[in-house]
Structure 1
Amino acid sequence: MLPDALTQTVLLLAGVAIVAGVVGTGCAWLVSAYAFPGRRLLDVALLLPLAVPTYIVAFAYLDLMHPLGPVQSGLRALLGLSGPGDLRLPDIRSLPACVLLLGLVLYPYVYLPTRALFRMQAATLLEAARSLGAGPGRVFRSVALPLARPAIALGLGLALMEALNDIGAAEFLGVRTLTVQVYATWVNRTDLPGAAQIALASLAVVLVLIGVERWGRGGRGYATAAQRPRPLERRRLRGTAGVIALGLGLLPVALGFLVPAAYLAREAGTRIARFGLPERLASEALGTLLYAGAATLAAVVLGLFAAASPALVGRRWGGLLVRLAGLGYALPGAVLAIGLLTPLALADFGLSSLTRALFGTTPALVGLGTGTALVLAYVIRFLGVSTGACEAGLARLPRSLGDAGRTLGRGAFGALMRVQLPQLWPALASGAVLVFVDCAKELPATLLLRPLNVETLATHLYGEAARGTYEDGAAAALLIVLVGLVPVAMLMRLDPAFRMRSRLPSA
């Protein structure tokens, strides 16, 4: 299985890199270099696909593009055709469709840092190119794009990590990636050694992505003005040109967010009007809240100490702890889950043997088959998110605060708890929201490590898609999208320097 899975994974990542890179960079330049009616609205709307997990977009489009779905049925009615056999669009279950959908959902990872960098570029550099006779396209290709290379590399690294972690969209659309094969080998064939071998191949791809991302961002110096650079003056577009610019910018927003969200809202409303809320939705939402909440609490506490570790244990060891905290984000959820199975089983076996020898009883499992394993996987995977938020918060505090605490008799830990922590609540809250939403949307690790007979919103949606009962999963999907809108709203309110903290180990 490995050669085919590796080939499909490489093709998928290459395609997503092209789509997300072109769309994200193009939209960032559009809103940074041009002024047209609706630009401010577009600037905000381009973030909306971040709220929709990739597997939910695939879930929605599978039903939308079904031969009996609304798109093909509407086309047949419009053309006066009678049956499904009279008009059949290409099957959406294909690698090109998966590339397009993932790219349209993940392009904001490229858009955010690239837009921030375009806005920080000195206008004098671009105006010098214009004064030498370069047109708008030449200025973009020869000056702006090379200067934006670090931001583009960062965004593509994050987008490709998310694409590699995806299991729902790829499986729904018939693409057998390494992550899908890890899950299928363990769940369908109960072959843990085989799943571990495929997971190692997936880990090798992760290392390659990190290396490429570091190469893309490093090794170059950039000259800037000594003072704060003057921002680029936007070129005004009026009339037809402005309408075309707005339409081009809204196209990825419509395909990546508006269409699937509107479809889910309609289907959920229809399902609730006929049959009421699904009976299990409350228990699934509660399970999602409990597991994600417990992981969020642990991740924020550990992330705070990891971010403050350079002051607590020294820069050398503290820097190492910060990098270790970010390693989990680079691991696909399925790979992390497979890696935890054996250690958790050994821990359960050791605890059982110890209590049997000391007390003559065998306790219940505390690792595998319980919520502990799932919470542990969430914490490892998303610890880098909370650490990055806490680092950003600490960077905004004057160093004199910690120094003042130490001069008043407090050690580094006491200064952190009594002086700096009260000032860090906004950063802690933003990190907690990001971790909670990531945990609520996480599918691969949840599928492999959730307790028996326990469903979350994500696993319920996966089950409905596997059975083809899309209308029954629409309410759960819509609820996940609504939860995902919370961090997007936060991103809209925060300044560009705080919006995109790299969560890669190389950052």
Structure 2
Amino acid sequence: MFPRFVLPALLFVLTAVLTLPVLAVMLSWLTLDGMSLPILQEMLRTVLPEYALTSLLLCLAVAAGVALVGVATACAVTLFEFPGRRIFAWALLLPLAMPAYVVAYAYTDFLQYAGPLQSWLRAAFGLQGRLLPEIRSLGGAVLIFTVTLYPYVYLLARTALSERAVHLMEAARLLGAPLRRRIGEVALPLARPAVAAGVALALMETLADFGVSSYFGIQTFTAGIYKAWLAMDNRLAAAQLATALLLVVAVLLRIEHQAQKRMRFAGSRGAGAGAADAAPTPLQGVRAALAWAVCALPIALGFILPVLFMLRPLVAGWGELPWRQFVGWSINSVGLAGLSAALATAVALGLSLALRLRPHLLTRAAAQLASLGYAVPGAVIVVGLLLPVGWLQATAPQTAVGYWVTATVLGIVWAYLVRFTAVALQSVQSGYSRIPVSFDDSARMLGVTGAALLAKVHWPLLQRSVGVAALLVFVDVMKELPATLVLRPFNSDTLAVVTYQLARDERLGEAALPALTLVLVGLLPVLLLGRTLRTK
């Protein structure tokens, strides 16, 4: 068994490392003085109302959009039988492979004033001027986030509906309730906690986004944080904006946790074996066509069309693509993603083992604090990492902390661990939940304890879960933009950063190659998730 003092010390160090960025942002208010107060007052008078209003309108519209699309598709594939239902059941997850900023670049290239669609319409019908609304707008951002984030609602709502809704709708049908009433009074109330959890997750991703808001010129909190830090060189203003964003995310995280609790309560009572025996309601004719369209439209808007839009400039400029540079970008991305995935998985495995061996208050608190990072936007993590560096540089100019955090991979990998350790932790804990505690008791009776218990008993049973954890972190790091954009070492651009920079410079043909590479990488966990859903 581990020495009594080693485990608490390791847990304290891990927790401190993973929570320092959030603590630094919150402690920044302690530096508020006579010089800082006028800056805060000016922000309250000028930029903060616009940031708050824009973020609020964006969140309200995205919440309505993902709820509508997610619930409609979940109801279609769970409650009804129609041609193509089994294909749609996993294909509706495909937009999860698309980074939102890649979809934004694809639609902008195709729909802008000089794009192929408007150019063809003007040439074909003799028209002049702008023929379509500007995609780079708040409405365009709502469309982008809706078609890329609805799978959060779809996945949770589908799980909730499949547990009880089909069985109860069959009972309601036998009692004479019409289809509309069965959906409105039976299915949708059962899915309400799942919808709330999915919407909260989608809104956290919306608030954390930087690529879409920056490219579309939308003044959200995340764009304001980067503008305050990089353009205005005002770290206090960036920290205060980060605090406001962190408070909003904390509220969403609370809503998501409460909804998850209600989902477990609803799902634990009496789903019964009969739910599996009740068949979905068959649809024919117009109703079947409507269900098919409800499922096909989000897939087309969120995956098929963006891929086709990016393939057009890629094929057209194939001979001029920077293949040599692309190899370097890919090596940087894979190296950072592989290193971060290995470290995050190791940390998750250590925390899960600590929870397994000593499930007391300290280990539970450490695991919960480590899990908070995924809800923290990348912009907040960047500010939280750079603030302590600035304080140390001001108090001790001779220290080399600033160099190690900003000029090496230490800073960016640290940010990745804060952001994505929660992803690995959830997967590893899921694997541990399937290993009976009696295995540990039997091993101890045979003299196997401590590290040997992990190596000889746990590891053979955890290999699949650990592999999934590493894969999820790897893909998330490959797509991560905000933290990578600021903290990457000099001359070490990644695929995500290069995609953003090329698209910002209106070189969308060159941006297509790294963008589609990110999409291919993002397909890996989506295909794995689809396979899991198809396996009973």
Query: What is the identity, as a one-letter code, of the residue corresponding to 2:275?
Result: R
Q: Is 2:514 the counterpart of 1:476?
A: yes
1:413 Cα deviation (Å)?
4.0
Q: Is 2:233 the counterpart of 1:190?
A: yes
1:353 Cα deviation (Å)?
4.7
Q: For structure 1, which segment, 339-348 or 460-469, has the greater mean C-alpha deviation from structure 2 after superposition?
A: 339-348
Report what 1:53 is aligned to: 99
Report what 2:269 is aligned to: 224
Q: For structure 1, which segment, 135-144 or 160-169, has the greater mean C-alpha deviation from structure 2 after superposition?
A: 135-144
Report what 2:154 is aligned to: 111
Count of residues paired in the alignment:
487
Q: Is 2:67 the counterpart of 1:15?
A: no
Report what 2:378 is aligned to: 333
TM-score, with normalisation over the residues of structure 2?
0.86
Query: What is the identity, as a one-letter code, of the residue corresponding to 1:252?
Result: P
Query: What is the identity, as a one-letter code, of the residue corresponding to 1:101?
Result: I
Q: Is 2:72 the counterpart of 1:26?
A: yes
Task: After superposition, give the CA deviation of every residue in 1:434-476 in whole Å (9 maximum; x if it has no partner).
Answer: 1000001000111121112321111111111211111111101
Q: Where is the helix percentage greater, Structure 1 or Structure 2?
A: 2
Alpha-carbon distance change, 391 to 462 in structure 1, aligned in 2, over 3 angstroms:
same
> Partners in 2 of 1:324 and 1:41 — Cα distance?
39
1:226 Cα deviation (Å)?
7.5
Report what 2:325 is aligned to: 280
> Partners in 1 of 2:535 and 2:157 — Cα distance?
12
**Structure 1 runs of 4+ off > 6 angstroms?**
347-352
1:211 Cα deviation (Å)?
2.6
> Partners in 2 of 1:213 and 1:119 — Cα distance?
20
Report what 1:503 is aligned to: none
Query: What is the identity, as a one-letter code, of the residue corresponding to 1:421?
Result: W
Report what 1:501 is aligned to: none
Which among 464, 467, 470 is matched to residue 505 of structure 2? 467
1:218 Cα deviation (Å)?
4.5
Report what 1:39 is aligned to: 85
Counterparts of 1:191-210 in structure 2, within 5 Å, are 191-210=234-253
Q: Is 2:442 the counterpart of 1:404?
A: yes
Structure 2 contact 193–262 (Cα < 8 Å) conserved: no
Alpha-carbon distance change, 100 to 82 in structure 1, aligned in 2, over 3 angstroms:
closer
Q: Is 2:357 the counterpart of 1:319?
A: no
Which among 95, 117, 120 is matched to residue 71 of structure 1? 117
Query: What is the identity, as a one-letter code, of the residue corresponding to 1:56?
Result: V
Report what 2:33 is aligned to: none
Q: For structure 1, which segment, 27-36 or 209-218, has the greater mean C-alpha deviation from structure 2 after superposition?
A: 209-218
Report what 2:172 is aligned to: 129
> Partners in 1 of 2:337 and 2:260 — Cα distance?
33
1:135 Cα deviation (Å)?
1.9
Structure 1 contact 348–367 (Cα < 8 Å) conserved: no
Partner of 2:404, secondary structure, is: coil
Which among 429, 444, 449 is matched to residue 467 of structure 2? 429
Alpha-carbon distance change, 417 to 321 in structure 1, aligned in 2, over 3 angstroms:
farther
Alpha-carbon distance change, 457 to 12 in structure 1, aligned in 2, over 3 angstroms:
same
Counterparts of 1:82-481 in structure 2, within 5 Å, are 83=128, 85=129, 87-121=130-164, 123-218=166-261, 221-222=265-266, 224-225=269-270, 227-231=272-276, 232-272=278-318, 274-345=319-390, 353=398, 365-481=403-519
Query: What is the identity, as a one-letter code, of the residue corresponding to 2:284?
Result: R
> Partners in 2 of 1:395 and 1:217 — Cα distance?
18
> Partners in 2 of 1:74 and 1:229 — Cα distance?
56
Structure 2 contact 66–150 (Cα < 8 Å) conserved: yes
1:122 Cα deviation (Å)?
5.7
1:217 Cα deviation (Å)?
4.4
Structure 1 contact 116–497 (Cα < 8 Å) conserved: no
Q: Identify unmatched segments of 5+ residues in structure 1.
A: 355-361, 499-507
> Partners in 1 of 2:437 and 2:194 — Cα distance?
28
Alpha-carbon distance change, 226 to 30 in structure 1, aligned in 2, over 3 angstroms:
closer
Structure 1 contact 348–366 (Cα < 8 Å) conserved: no
1:125 Cα deviation (Å)?
2.3
1:276 Cα deviation (Å)?
3.9
Query: What is the identity, as a one-letter code, of the residue corresponding to 1:9?
Result: S
Task: After superposition, give the CA deviation of every residue in 1:131-157 in whole Å (9 maximum; x if it has no partner).
Answer: 343222221221111111222122112
> Partners in 2 of 1:247 and 1:57 — Cα distance?
21
1:216 Cα deviation (Å)?
3.9
1:289 Cα deviation (Å)?
1.0
Alpha-carbon distance change, 347 to 403 in structure 1, aligned in 2, over 3 angstroms:
farther
Q: Identify unmatched segments of 5+ residues in structure 2.
A: 1-46
Report what 2:37 is aligned to: none
Report what 2:108 is aligned to: 62
Alpha-carbon distance change, 364 to 385 in structure 1, aligned in 2, over 3 angstroms:
closer
Alpha-carbon distance change, 185 to 418 in structure 1, aligned in 2, over 3 angstroms:
same
> Partners in 2 of 1:136 and 1:213 — Cα distance?
30
Alpha-carbon distance change, 344 to 301 in structure 1, aligned in 2, over 3 angstroms:
farther
Alpha-carbon distance change, 265 to 286 in structure 1, aligned in 2, over 3 angstroms:
same
Q: For structure 1, which segment, 88-97 or 333-342, has the greater mean C-alpha deviation from structure 2 after superposition?
A: 88-97
Report what 1:359 is aligned to: none
Query: What is the identity, as a one-letter code, of the residue corresponding to 1:306?
Result: L
TM-score, with normalisation over the residues of structure 1?
0.91
1:315 Cα deviation (Å)?
3.5
Alpha-carbon distance change, 175 to 167 in structure 1, aligned in 2, over 3 angstroms:
same
> Partners in 2 of 1:39 and 1:495 — Cα distance?
14
Alpha-carbon distance change, 123 to 47 in structure 1, aligned in 2, over 3 angstroms:
closer
Structure 2 contact 334–478 (Cα < 8 Å) conserved: yes
> Partners in 2 of 1:214 and 1:426 — Cα distance?
26
Partner of 1:225, secondary structure, is: coil
Q: For structure 1, which segment, 25-34 or 131-140, has the greater mean C-alpha deviation from structure 2 after superposition?
A: 131-140
Structure 2 contact 389–401 (Cα < 8 Å) conserved: no
Structure 2 contact 382–487 (Cα < 8 Å) conserved: yes
1:321 Cα deviation (Å)?
2.1
Q: For structure 1, which segment, 464-473 or 125-134, has the greater mean C-alpha deviation from structure 2 after superposition?
A: 125-134
1:262 Cα deviation (Å)?
1.3
1:303 Cα deviation (Å)?
0.8
Task: After superposition, give the CA deviation of every residue in 1:262-286 in whole Å (9 maximum; x if it has no partner).
Answer: 12122222222x3144442111111
> Partners in 2 of 1:470 and 1:124 — Cα distance?
50
> Partners in 2 of 1:62 and 1:226 — Cα distance?
46
1:398 Cα deviation (Å)?
2.7
Q: CA RMSD in A?
A: 2.3
